[in-house]
């Protein structure tokens, strides 16, 4: 069985593109290759110029810079960027319809290790809590407007001591939202997942339904608290259909779609989450004195 060696601060041993900080290793998920296959484009390992193909069970293109991935028994990489302009010749054997510039992942090697085909890849949970932000908006997903809420929430999380690990924008499609929530929760990358948008009365507002579909246990106190405090600012907060629940070992919290309301509601939540997330992660097993 062939193997490859991840060399710290360098990349893959013997790879012509190794050594460049921020781009030492390139990875692409089979999930992304499936998008090409669905368009009738035949794919094969490395066809988009990537060093490593990753199982379709893990979504790579929503990972934010700074996330650490353990590969095999000992190798560890840190994500640096998603996508790139392919004009510099990084991918010498690219094919037409190459998806790497949009969904490929670059990473730097921070711990040596030999990696074999079939080795497990997983997100390392560092001390503290990791968080994801999923913006739900037809308009933003189609490029009709800039998503102001998602980046603002990521900035708030970072300032609050969380590691923002995932971010994406989706249209208001129930199956897509449900699938993305489930995927993010069960790959072990997140302690808490904030959604922004899709909690109102519109027939296209499907976020609460998607959240309920994936959660095994609901946490009604969080949306109750948020509605109560938000209503002190604007009475229409009582019309929110937002819910919160637990999927796997990840807490999902629905937030409003507007930047101002999303930040206010996230701020209310962040005041109370630490203990609950510690219990959910298994780092605290006894509550109370």
> pTM of the predicted model, to two decimals?
0.91
The Cα-based distances of 195 to 132, 145, 211, 277 in angstroms read 8, 18, 9, 17
**Tens of pLDDT along 15-71?**
877 887 888 999 999 999 999 999 999 988 888 989 999 987 789 999 999 999 999
The Cα-based distances of 208 to 200, 231, 258 in angstroms read 9, 19, 16
Q: Name the residue with higher pLDDT: 133 or 98.
A: 133
- Whole-angstrom distance, CA of residue 175 vs CA of residue 26: 30
Superfamily of 4-123 according to CATH: PK beta-barrel domain-like (2.40.33.20)
Q: Which residues share a beta bridge with 109?
A: 77
Residues of the chain with CATH 2.40.33.20: 4-123
- pLDDT at residue 1 is higher than 70: no
The Cα-based distances of 189 to 66, 126, 192, 227 in angstroms read 12, 10, 9, 28
- pLDDT at residue 224 is higher than 70: yes
Q: Name the residue with higher pLDDT: 171 or 48.
A: 171
- Whole-angstrom distance, CA of residue 164 vs CA of residue 152: 11
- Whole-angstrom distance, CA of residue 249 vs CA of residue 182: 11
Please give the pLDDT value at position 285.
65
**Tens of pLDDT along 176-192?**
999 999 999 998 899 99
Residues of the chain with CATH 3.40.980.10: 130-281
222, 253 contact by CB (below 8 A):
yes
Please give the pLDDT value at position 131.
98
Please give the pLDDT value at position 45.
86
Domain 130-281: assigned CATH number: 3.40.980.10
Q: How far is CA 76 from the centre of its chain?
A: 18
- Whole-angstrom distance, CA of residue 155 vs CA of residue 223: 22
- Two structure tokens written together for 180: 């993305």
- Whole-angstrom distance, CA of residue 183 vs CA of residue 186: 5
Please give the pLDDT value at position 85.
56
254, 133 contact by CB (below 8 A):
no
- Whole-angstrom distance, CA of residue 100 vs CA of residue 86: 8
Confidence of residue 169 (pLDDT cuts 50, 70, 90): very high
């Amino acid at each position: 069985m062939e193997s490859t060696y991840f060399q710290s601060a360098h990349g893959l041993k013997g790879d012509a593109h190794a050594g460049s900080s921020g781009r030492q290793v390139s990875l692409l998920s089979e999930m992304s290759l499936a998008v090409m296959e669905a368009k009738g484009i035949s794919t094969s390992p490395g066809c988009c110029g990537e060093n490593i193909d990753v199982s379709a069970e893990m979504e790579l293109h929503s990972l934010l810079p700074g996330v650490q991935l353990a590969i095999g028994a000992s190798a560890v990489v840190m994500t640096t960027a998603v996508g790139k302009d392919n004009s510099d010749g990084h991918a010498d054997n690219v094919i037409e319809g190459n998806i790497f510039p949009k969904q490929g992942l670059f990473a730097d090697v921070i711990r040596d290790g030999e990696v074999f085909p079939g080795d497990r890849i997983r997100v390392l949970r560092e001390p503290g809590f990791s968080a994801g932000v999923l913006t739900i908006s037809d308009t933003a997903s189609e490029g009709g407007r800039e998503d102001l809420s998602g980046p603002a929430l990521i900035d708030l999380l970072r300032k609050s001591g969380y590691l923002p690990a995932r971010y994406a924008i989706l249209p208001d499609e129930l199956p897509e939202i449900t699938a993305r929530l489930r995927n993010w929760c069960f790959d072990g990358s997140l302690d808490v997942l904030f959604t922004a948008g899709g909690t109102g009365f519109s027939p296209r507002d499907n976020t609460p339904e998607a959240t309920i579909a994936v959660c095994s246990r609901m946490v009604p106190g969080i949306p109750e608290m948020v509605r109560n405090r938000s209503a002190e600012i604007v009475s229409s907060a009582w019309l929110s259909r937002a819910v919160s629940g637990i999927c796997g070992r990840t807490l999902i919290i629905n937030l409003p779609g507007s930047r101002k309301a999303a930040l206010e509601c996230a701020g209310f939540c962040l005041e109370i989450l630490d203990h609950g997330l510690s219990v959910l992660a298994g780092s605290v097993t006894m509550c109370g004195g």
